[in-house]
Structure 1
Amino acid sequence: MAPLPKTQDTTSRARLSAVIKSARDIMRKDAGLNGDLDRLPLLSWLLFLRSFDALEAEREVFGQEPIIKPDYQWRAWADRETFTGADLLMFVNTELLPYLADLKSDVPGDPRNVLGQVFAGVQNRMLSGYLFRDLVNQIRGIDFNSSDDIHTMAFLYEDLLKQMRDAAGDSGEFYTPRPVIRFMVEQTFLKLGESIMDPACGTGGFLVEAYTELFPQATGKVLQQQLFNNIRGIEKKPLPFLLCMMNLTLHGIPSPKVLHANSLRVMIDEKGPSSQVDVILTNPPFGGEEEDSIVQGFPTAYRSRETAWLFLHSVIKKLGHGGRCAIVLPHNALFGEGPGAKVRKQLLEECDLHTIIRLPQGVFAPYTPIPANLLFFEKTGATKETWYYEIIPPEGRKGYAKTKPMRYEEFEACAAWWGGPERANRIQTDRAWRVPAADIISQNYNLNFANPTEKDDLAHRPPAELLGNLISAEHEILALLTSLAKDVEGSA
């Protein structure tokens, strides 16, 4: 929805920053919370309830029935400053959260379904009811009827997500650096009215960027509602799902169309053109293994425990005719035998794989040293040729690290070379080269074509890059051996 009209003086960014800092300081004092991985979810669902209360107030203005029963609405318990200590904790833990988790409706689009999904896995880990009251009082200072507060809070929330990503370590696989997200969205050339999906949406980075890109064009409530409905996601893990819902809500989407489910199972079960979408923007998980029931749902030729292959196959099927996709894939997804080769064959036969962007080493540090690529394709017919473009770090740098991440400006030369939506007037340079589809097919659909202007001098390549390539190869070998072992067990 469009930002709500102001009802009081707006809170400055400095004040909101102080509110969030005070909230985090309060949470640090509670023995039940361990680090930002505990604190940010708690802050998220409280912010969600606070913002939802603003929507409830708007519904009342128009004479609509409340979604949440009056006794459980934010104002009924959060605004009672004397309601604190053990009584407050007892209410939140045994009444409020179970009530919200049980909300559901048979009516499509009913906000009760959103609330039920958001709170299905939520727990309150705070042990002190008095500290919980202090935390609630801080959040009461945010005015979700103020457009300035909403926009500022969205900005601050993005910063909190980044900090949590930095603290997440191995749990941070669902994060994609903002410069990569922005570049992928811009080079997909989104149009208002298109359905846009991320089947592994994490905390909602691609969805927020797509929404931000298109919202200025959505003039009027009809176009805005259409845009709300066209921004869609699926997220399997409860923590990023909660963060995604809060992220989208803060950015102005009142009832985000994000499903808490295993997207591979969802896409297997969906059939027909009505389930297809126009655009997919995603960074699916890779290097992991899916459960047998998911793998067995795929056609025999494409069965694999490597999630990258399963997602790529599913994405191709999910796109409607003429649909477009920008996807992050690990380096080892470009080569290898078995199911991977069959998925690449499917990709080149059904889609125009027009561009592969080779990312430098360390873009996804510290979460993985594995090199990654950005694949851009359209479901418009078989590939005739594929252009490659190699992004290089700034002079004097061999790669990136957590303390020295990639910047958006480093995509500018590639964006200028791209040639707009029609990819017109592309030329070969020392960083861009063209490979005919026939050459790819002759190499058993191997997409790993090196820059022809550079010698593959192992002695001068960064050690981190060599290690990353070795890890990629090991993942490929392990996936093949695991698949072979399953086949042997099945035939025994």
Structure 2
Amino acid sequence: MARTKKKNGADAAPMTTSQMLGSLLNSARKIMRKDKGLNGDLDRLPLLTWIMFLKFLDDLEQQREEETALSGKKFKAAIEAPYRWRDWAANPQGITGDELLAFINSEEAVRADGAKGPGLFAYLRSLSSSNGDNRRDVIATVFKGVDNRMKSGYLLRDIINKVGGIHFTSSDELHTLGALYESMLREMRDAAGDSGEFYTPRAVVRFMVEVTDPRLGETVLDPASGTGGFLVEAYNHLEKQVKTVADRKRLQNDTIAGCEPKSLPYLLCQMNLLLHGLDAPQIDPGNALRFKLSEIGEKERVDVILTNPPFGGEEEKGIQGNFPEDRQTAETALLFLQLIMRKLKRQPTSAGRPARAAVVVPHGSLSSPGVAKRIRETLLGDFNITAIVRLPHNVFAPYTDIQSNVIFFERGEPTQSILYCEPSLPLGYSLSKTKPLLYEWIEPLKTLIASRQETDTSWLVRRDDLDENLNLDIKNPRRKLNSLADRGNLETLAAQMRSYADEADAIKAELAQVTELIGQSPWELLDSHTYESDERIGEDYSPEMPLLGVSAEEGITNPKTAIGKSPERYKVLRTHYLAYNPMRINIGSIGVVRDDTQQGITSPDYVVFYCGPDLLPEYVYHYLRSEAGRHEINLKTKGSVRFRLYFEQLSKIKIPVPKNIETQQRFVNACNRLEDLKKMLNAAASSATDCLNAATRSSFLLEGGKPSNTSTGSRAA
């Protein structure tokens, strides 16, 4: 190893290159695989992290001790002898085997100085900030969630010796370690994938921080910190604004806060922040949702919130009880959204700006009815939603395929209009684990958000133009999925097919979760949730009223037949009503009025009905058009001379009814997306024919449309 010189000319510790560091840690992990007490990376990574944490802390302490001595001040150690790394771990020939395990694990043990005293973990957990060093509280909290699962003290000594080869004494080495540490975090989330853990891509984190632009003096919170990505990025952003000693103190002590209840991410978050320069990270090790929402006052509020809260999870009843009765839900994302709204300060910040948030939310939070709608109503009324960024599909690949958005909002006037925007990826580029979203593709959206300019990738939506469900899941009205304008272009067709494959993967992932929930739901009679409507148009009939029919292919459609001689007898079809032909419902001839633009009148011979508040009409629509639904329909007409199914028989059909209306909506959304995908694939099939014609035309025809072989002479015999 090359050695460097300290300022005083003495030899310094050897510089640790990225290659050497990677080799050291890989060797340590190979050793860990031999130990019977560790089971997979979810055991190995925490062990490696707490060992590195103690080595890093000791290097930092020694560096600060030297700096303090030069300034003539008295140094206060966070960890005292003989529990410092240099006391028990630095000597490669130091304590090992059962003696090492006892020193680390036991409440009382023989220490490295030969005296009896608390074991290492017992000592670390007992630390407090009574000496004025807040890092002691951090260390104590970290090690309350840590244990040593290694069974072999000899293998543990080998790992300690490997980590002892890492030196945390220069900014270059810290940068090297930071890069490698991020790779460890990626491996940790790979290992945690089965338990639903996934973390926000760096490009998205950086973009959210830069758009919210925290200013020195403002407080920044991530209530679902994970491994600290948002807090590290916010710290780096704020550090550039430090000009004085007072600025540095404010940044270190009064600016960054987080919350992470899981012990492994909590430990990783602490080390991540320490590595990047935050001396005593203020990370709450409890669940951020554990406090009653109504009791969170102005003192608990902050200026800026940056977070990607967990979604798709379910919180226990005790946690749900902390929220207003009409806003209680098991969906974690909706609970966090309410918490974030409550935690933003009401008054302008010290920088004279409104308190603001940037939050990653799934599509369902923007479109689901029930609790989600009531939350959106408050969000639109009490906050200004400045922008919603539609993240590309697979942005979290391979950890989840759930489609998501970043929503930016701030305290102040109610929302008047929202700027939507989406990043432009290269044609045909599909995100994956090895092909992440690059910052250069999302960075241009900062200018669009600031200017509120409408382009091909940004569009404004007025609050007054939202539907009655306050649906905020609004697609780009100008965007066509890889336009079919050049139908003979194979590059366009290839890009289309990749896009369709991505969409199919996303729908598959969504249905995998939803179908499991539906499978656990009780089966109930439609009679309990549906009501027939016999409302006739009567004297209110006007020739301008649209006449509606139903078909197995399109659902609600415009019939080819003209209205009959008695138009006053025709039935009224309102928004969310369902209608079907009683003689053709067995082949799927049923439709649902999805919005106000589809309202009209329909044949007096059709059955018209609607649903109660606990059952979505589109959910019923997709069930009755399914194979299972058509089977039940056929069972209700056995013995009939001619197939007819009226509402009396239909209402006796059973259907699985998820109690959570959001589950029904997620299923409906997935089915609607599949219907759209089917239409796009039909168009792509036609495009493939055009590509075939273009290929043969370019190969076999000359300009002017003549065959390429223009010889008129006959072949020789």
The question of a shared fold, defined as TM-score above 0.5 by the shorter chain, is answered with yes
The match for 2:377 is 345
- Of 88, 93, 99, the residue aligned with 1:77 is 88
**Per-residue deviation, 1:223:** 1.6
Matches of 1:267 and 1:79, distance apart in 2: 47
8 Å CA contact 1:197, 1:207 repeated in 2: yes
SS in structure 2 at match of 1:72 = coil
Shift of residue 221, structure 1, vs aligned partner: 3.3
The corresponding residue for 1:412 is 443
**Structure 2 CA distance for aligned equivalents of residues 275 and 107 of structure 1:** 26
Give the superposition deviation at 1:51. 2.2
**Residue number among 251, 254, 258 corresponding to 2:276 in the alignment:** 251
Partner SS state of residue 447, structure 1: coil
Deviation of 1:340 after TM superposition, in Å, equals 0.7
- The 10-residue stretch of structure 1 (70-79 or 86-95) with the greater mean CA deviation from structure 2: 70-79
Contact 1:331/1:472, CA 8 A, preserved across alignment: no
Q: CA deviation at 1:163?
A: 2.4
Q: Per the alignment, do residues 372 and 324 of structure 1 end up closer, same or farther by CA in structure 2, a change over 3 Å counting?
A: same
- 1:380 matched to which residue of 2? 412
* Matched-pair contact (CA < 8 Å) for 1:267–1:314: no
Q: 2:392 matched to 1:355?
A: no
1:69 Cα deviation (Å)? 4.0
Q: What is the match of residue 490 of structure 1?
A: none
Q: Distance in 1 between matches of 2:309 and 2:48?
A: 26
Determine if contact 1:207/1:231 at 8 Å carries over to the other structure: yes
- Deviates further, 155-164 or 454-463: 454-463
Counterpart-to-counterpart distance in 1, 2:133 and 2:378: 35
Please say if 1:123 is aligned against 2:147. yes
Pairing 1:172-251 to 2, within 5 Å after superposition = 173-229=197-253, 230-251=255-276
Whole-angstrom CA distance in 1 between matches of 2:377 and 2:416: 13
Other-structure match for 1:139: 163
1:451 corresponds in structure 2 to 476
Which residue does 1:11 correspond to in 2?
15
- Encode CA deviations 1:22-75: one digit per residue, 9 max, x unaligned: 322332332322332222211111121122223444357442443334232222
**Match for residue 294 of structure 1?**
319
State the Cα RMSD in Å. Answer: 2.9
What displacement does 1:448 show?
Answer: 1.6
Counterpart code for 2:311: F
Tell me: higher relative CO, structure 1 or 2? Use CA pairs within 8 A at least 6 residues apart: 1
The separation in 2 between residues aligned to 1:148 and 1:159, in whole angstroms, is 17
Who is 2:534 aligned against? none
Once the two structures are aligned, what percentage of the paired residues are identical? Answer: 45
CA distance in 1, matches of 2:236, 2:333: 28
Q: Which range moves more in the overlay, 430-439 or 10-19?
A: 10-19
Select the structure that is richer in helix: 1
Q: What residue in structure 1 maps to residue 487 of structure 2?
A: none
- Please say which of residues 323-332 and 267-276 is displaced more in the overlay: 267-276
Aligned to 1:91: 103
Of 394, 397, 401 in structure 1, the residue corresponding to residue 432 of structure 2 is: 401
Task: State whether structure 2 residue 463 is matched by structure 1 residue 437.
Answer: yes
CA deviation after TM superposition for structure 1 residue 112, in Å: 2.4
Match in the other structure for 2:184: 160
Residues 291, 322 of structure 2: 8 Å contact kept: no
Q: 2:508 aligns with which of 461, 467, 477?
A: 467
Within 5 Å, which residues of 2 pair with 1:25-64? 25-57=30-62, 58=64, 61=69, 62-64=73-75
1:489 corresponding residue in structure 2:
none
Q: Is the 8 A contact 1:363 1:406 kept in 2?
A: yes
Of 157-166 and 198-207, more deviation after overlay is shown by 157-166
Would you say how many aligned residue pairs link Structure 1 and Structure 2?
Answer: 474
Q: 1:66 to 1:404 in 2, by over 3 A?
A: closer
Deviation at 1:400, TM superposition (A): 2.2
- Counterpart secondary structure, 2:474: coil
In the aligned structure 1, how far is the partner of 2:17 from the partner of 2:231?
24
CA 1:110–1:266: 2 relative to 1, 3 Å:
farther
User: What's 2:336 paired with?
Assistant: 311
Which segment is superposed worse, 339-348 or 168-177? 168-177
User: Is the CA contact 2:361–2:405 (under 8 Å) kept in the aligned structure 1?
Assistant: yes
Q: What is the Cα deviation at residue 190 of structure 1? A: 2.1
Counterparts of 1:200 and 1:387, CA distance in 2 = 26
CA distance in 2, matches of 1:213, 1:79: 35
Change in CA separation of 1:391 and 1:148 when aligned onto 2, cut-off 3 Å: closer
Q: CA deviation at 1:301?
A: 2.0
Following superposition, the deviation at residue 228 of structure 1 comes to: 2.2
Q: Secondary structure at the match of 2:180?
A: helix
Task: Provide the C-alpha distance between the structure 1 equivalents of 2:121 and 2:294, rounded to a whole number of angstroms.
Answer: 31
Moved more, 145-154 or 352-361: 145-154
Range with bigger deviation, 232-241 or 99-108: 99-108
Residues 379, 290 of structure 1: alpha-carbon distance in 2 compared, 3 angstrom cutoff = same
Report if aligned partners of 1:388, 1:432 keep a CA contact under 8 Å in 2: yes
Q: Which structure has the larger Rg?
A: 2
Q: Secondary structure at the match of 1:464?
A: helix
**Alpha-carbon offset, residue 333 of structure 1:** 0.7
- Which sections of structure 2, spanning at least 5 residues, go unmatched? 1-5, 107-118, 347-353, 484-495, 522-613, 615-657, 662-717
- Check conservation: 1:32, 1:126, Cα contact below 8 A: yes
1:44 partner SS: helix
| Cα distance in 1 between the residues matched to 2:320 and 2:144 | 26
Separation in structure 2 between the aligned mates of residue 135 and residue 182 of structure 1, nearest angstrom:
34
What is the CA distance between 1:126 and its match in structure 2?
1.7
CA contact (8 A) 2:357 2:408 kept: yes
> How much does 1:454 deviate?
4.1
**In the alignment, residue 141 of structure 1 is paired with which amino acid?**
G
Show the counterpart of 2:611: none
Distance in structure 2 (CA, Å) of the matches to 1:64 and 1:213: 30
Could you tell me whether the CA contact under 8 Å between 2:218 and 2:303 is conserved in 1? yes
Residue type of the alignment partner of 1:307? T
Amino acid at match of 1:189: D
TM-score (norm 1): 0.88
Cα distance, 1:383 vs. partner? 0.5
Provide the residue aligned with 1:149 in structure 2: 173
CA contact under 8 A between 1:332 and 1:473: conserved in structure 2? no
Equivalent residue letter for 1:257 = Q
- 1:331–1:469: 8 Å Cα contact kept in structure 2? no
Q: Structure 1 unaligned runs (5+)?
A: 485-492
1:430-466 residue CA offsets vs partner (Å, 9 max, x unmatched): 22111101122x4232112222224699998431244
Relative to structure 1, the CA distance from residue 125 to residue 473 in structure 2 (aligned partners, 3 Å threshold; closer, same or farther) is closer
Q: Which residue of 1 aligns with 2:288?
A: 263
